[in-house]
A and B are shown apart, each in its own frame.
Chain A
Amino acid sequence: MILFSNNTSSRSKTDRYFSWSLRVLALLAASLLVLVIGFILRESWMALTQVGLSRFFTDSGWFPTEHSYEITPMISGTLLAACGSILLAAPLGILSAVFCHFYAPPILGLWYRRMIELLAGIPSVVFGFWGLVVLVPLIAAWQPPGPSLLGGILILTLMIIPTIMLIAHSSISQVPTTYIKNATALGLSRWAVIWRIVLPVSRVGLLTGIFLGLARALGETMAILMVCGNVIQYPSHIFDPIRTLTANIALEMAYALDHHRSALFISGLLLMVLVIIFVSIAEVLRHKSPYVVAK
């Protein structure tokens, strides 16, 4: 499709050359993804064939140096941390976008958005370091040991609020003003306009933001590594430490050999699968929008 659709109406040579070089670049970017997946598959092949995928779900615990490779506690850890942070960050992000667009005075709204943009630019290792020296001791004083699922959820929430808020804000801003004017003319309160008109109409954008946030939460490594405790277990409550798939790779990759190394690539493969599942869900939900936006 990319290569053959003749979608440029211009007949000038310049445009033709330009669109062809763009096609080559697009192909290059797309083939990178295929290469990455291929590489992960190749590296995990040893574990897949010699250990077997089923053992990653049935072994008794993750002790790769003793040839035991149970990975399910880390899948649960990844999902719990990511979904927990979405539960906090989605309402916070969307509501702050609503505040920014409808309630805040323009000056405050502008500065508020600038601040959130700045938050988006903070490197994750800084969040992690802050979590390790400030957040974790606070949790430890309240409910030891401190590094925990809660710590991970809070740090991830901080990290994905900007993604969700900024995307929500831009999709709320795109709601046609005629909708809002008409609704106001009909005598609806500001909250009713937001709740019944603005949010449903911008649903696609909100969902996109949430799933992008979720993807970032799933893939986050450094910050999570520093605040989650990295103990491999199913947490019985929110103060228990957990280990995520990403932290598992980062902690052990430098020291891993043979099957152990290959098993870590399985962690990466499963992470890819999780991300693909969530992106697919997002795609399906997008097409189920209850209102059709007239442009």
Chain B
Amino acid sequence: MAALTFLRPFLSLSLLVGFLCLFGPFGVWPLAQAQEGNLVITGSSTMAPLLLEIGKRFETRHPGTRIDVQTGGSSRGIADVVNGLADIGMASRTLNPQEKHLHGAVVARDGIGMILHTSNPIQELTNPQIVDIYTGRIRNWQQVGGHDAPITVVNKAQGRSTLELFVQYFKLSNRDIQAHVVIGDNEQGIKTVAGNPNAIGYVSIGTAQYDASHGIPIHLLPLQHIPASVETVRAGTFPLSRPLTLITKSSPTGLTKTFIHFAQSPEVHDLILQQYFVPLQN
């Protein structure tokens, strides 16, 4: 007992030391650089789950390698590659003109579809109608042949590649969009539309098709008479679709090259389909 009493003053001191040991390494950890057999991949949150799976399979095929996947959006992926913070960037949009010097390899395609609640009788909207709805010129479903009910416009938050692609395709400006709800990810968008019979939104076709087939009350609208489905996105006929690209600073070499070839090979097509994306035909 006497020994314990003697030790008591050091208890809090040892707690402090313990704390430092615990949290000290955190300061160093994010600075860890890519090493041999280690690839850092950052970027699009749309692509991250897919690359995580591809990375796992790659690690089992190539023992001793480690694939580290982090999200943060396409723009971050591209910036990280340019700044040398990542070996490979994931971009779910086409490259801007000032980004053209980077090297891109398409692994799959994704489509963005307009979604409505299943109780909404509207089966198709023309592009000008969608533009008018998103800019607030059409405010009631009656104006496009639906029920007499005000339209709830669901938009994405600034910086998301889905918003960028949507705005680009419909030639809108962020300032013109009159949204009633602004959402973050696809699932939040689907829940918002599923909970509001008068809402209209746009999300990844893969996610929407999966949720719609699992009892969530939403339906996808065709665009320019082309049905929104995984098939039309694969065929490249669906107008509002995007390539999922792996970005490198220059032409890939070594492990990076091996990984990109693996991600483009038929060996990962099952993983791409699992994520409701569309593999390219080789």
Q: Which residues of A contact B (CB under 8 A)?
A: 13-14, 16-18, 21-22, 24-25, 28, 61-66, 132-133, 136-137, 140, 144-147, 225-226, 229-232, 241, 243, 250-252, 254-257, 260
Contact A255/B13 with A146-B152, A229-B180 known, Cβ cut-off 8 Å:
no
A contact residues around B75 at 8 Å (CB): 255, 257
In the bound complex, do residue A254 and residue B72 qualify as a contact, i.e. CB atoms below 8 Å apart? Answer: yes
* Chain B window 151-179, contacts with chain A (Cβ cutoff 8 Å), 1 for yes, 0 for no: 01000011110000000000000110001
Q: Which residues of B contact A (CB under 8 A)?
A: 5, 8-10, 12-13, 15-16, 45, 71-73, 75-76, 79, 149-150, 152, 157-160, 174-175, 179-184, 188, 191-192, 195-196, 198-199
Please report the C-alpha to C-alpha distance between residue A136 and residue B175 in the assembled complex, in whole angstroms: 26
In the bound complex, do residue A254 and residue B158 qualify as a contact, i.e. CB atoms below 8 Å apart? Answer: no
Please report the C-alpha to C-alpha distance between residue A161 and residue B13 in the assembled complex, in whole angstroms: 39
CB distance from B134 to the nearest CB of A (A): 13
29 contacts between A and B (CB under 8 A): A13-B9, A14-B8, A16-B9, A17-B9, A17-B10, A17-B13, A22-B12, A25-B15, A66-B175, A136-B195, A144-B149, A144-B152, A144-B180, A145-B152, A145-B196, A146-B196, A230-B181, A231-B179, A241-B180, A251-B157, A252-B157, A252-B158, A252-B159, A254-B73, A254-B76, A255-B72, A255-B73, A256-B159, A260-B159
A contact residues around B15 at 8 Å (CB): 25
A contact residues around B191 at 8 Å (CB): 132-133
In the bound complex, do residue B174 and residue A21 qualify as a contact, i.e. CB atoms below 8 Å apart? Answer: no
> Which has the most chain B C-beta neighbours within 10 Å: A144, A252, A256?
A144
Checking B13, B179, B188, B196 against A144 with a beta-carbon cut-off of 8 angstroms, the contacting residue is B196
CB distance from A200 to the nearest CB of B (A): 41
CB distance from A69 to the nearest CB of B (A): 11
In the bound complex, do residue B180 and residue A225 qualify as a contact, i.e. CB atoms below 8 Å apart? Answer: no
In the bound complex, do residue B184 and residue A257 qualify as a contact, i.e. CB atoms below 8 Å apart? Answer: no
CB distance from A83 to the nearest CB of B (A): 22
Interface of A is mostly: helix
In the bound complex, do residue A18 and residue B9 qualify as a contact, i.e. CB atoms below 8 Å apart? Answer: yes
CB distance from A24 to the nearest CB of B (A): 7
B contact residues around A255 at 8 Å (CB): 72-73, 75-76, 157-160
CB distance from A227 to the nearest CB of B (A): 10
Please report the C-alpha to C-alpha distance between residue A251 and residue B159 in the assembled complex, in whole angstroms: 9
In the bound complex, do residue B181 and residue A147 qualify as a contact, i.e. CB atoms below 8 Å apart? Answer: yes
In the bound complex, do residue B71 and residue A140 qualify as a contact, i.e. CB atoms below 8 Å apart? Answer: no
In the bound complex, do residue A132 and residue B192 qualify as a contact, i.e. CB atoms below 8 Å apart? Answer: yes
In the bound complex, do residue B180 and residue A147 qualify as a contact, i.e. CB atoms below 8 Å apart? Answer: yes
CB distance from A28 to the nearest CB of B (A): 7
Q: Name the CB-closest residue of A to B44.
A: A255
In the bound complex, do residue B159 and residue A65 qualify as a contact, i.e. CB atoms below 8 Å apart? Answer: yes
CB distance from A43 to the nearest CB of B (A): 15
A contact residues around B174 at 8 Å (CB): 63, 65-66
Checking A28, A65, A145, A251 against B184 with a beta-carbon cut-off of 8 angstroms, the contacting residue is A251
Known: A22-B12, A254-B159. 15 other contacts (CB 8 A): A17-B10, A63-B174, A66-B175, A132-B188, A137-B195, A137-B196, A140-B152, A145-B150, A145-B180, A146-B195, A250-B184, A251-B157, A251-B184, A257-B76, A260-B159
Please report the C-alpha to C-alpha distance between residue A119 and residue B160 in the assembled complex, in whole angstroms: 35
A contact residues around B8 at 8 Å (CB): 14, 18
Q: Name the CB-closest residue of A to B74.
A: A255
A contact residues around B9 at 8 Å (CB): 13-14, 16-18, 21
Checking B16, B73, B76, B192 against A21 with a beta-carbon cut-off of 8 angstroms, the contacting residue is B16
Please report the C-alpha to C-alpha distance between residue A174 and residue B275 in the assembled complex, in whole angstroms: 59
Contact A145/B159 with A21-B9, A22-B12, A140-B152 known, Cβ cut-off 8 Å:
no
B contact residues around A14 at 8 Å (CB): 5, 8-9
Q: Name the CB-closest residue of A to B164.
A: A65
Q: Name the CB-closest residue of B to A248.
A: B157
Contact A229/B73 with A14-B9, A18-B9 known, Cβ cut-off 8 Å:
no
B contact residues around A241 at 8 Å (CB): 180-182
Please report the C-alpha to C-alpha distance between residue A231 and residue B180 in the assembled complex, in whole angstroms: 6
Checking A17, A18, A25, A230 against B182 with a beta-carbon cut-off of 8 angstroms, the contacting residue is A230
B contact residues around A28 at 8 Å (CB): 16
A contact residues around B72 at 8 Å (CB): 254-255
B contact residues around A13 at 8 Å (CB): 9
CB distance from A78 to the nearest CB of B (A): 16
Please report the C-alpha to C-alpha distance between residue A257 and residue B75 in the assembled complex, in whole angstroms: 8
B contact residues around A147 at 8 Å (CB): 180-181, 192
CB distance from B189 to the nearest CB of A (A): 11
B contact residues around A66 at 8 Å (CB): 174-175
Please report the C-alpha to C-alpha distance between residue A260 and residue B174 in the assembled complex, in whole angstroms: 15
Please report the C-alpha to C-alpha distance between residue A230 and residue B198 in the assembled complex, in whole angstroms: 18
CB distance from B225 to the nearest CB of A (A): 29
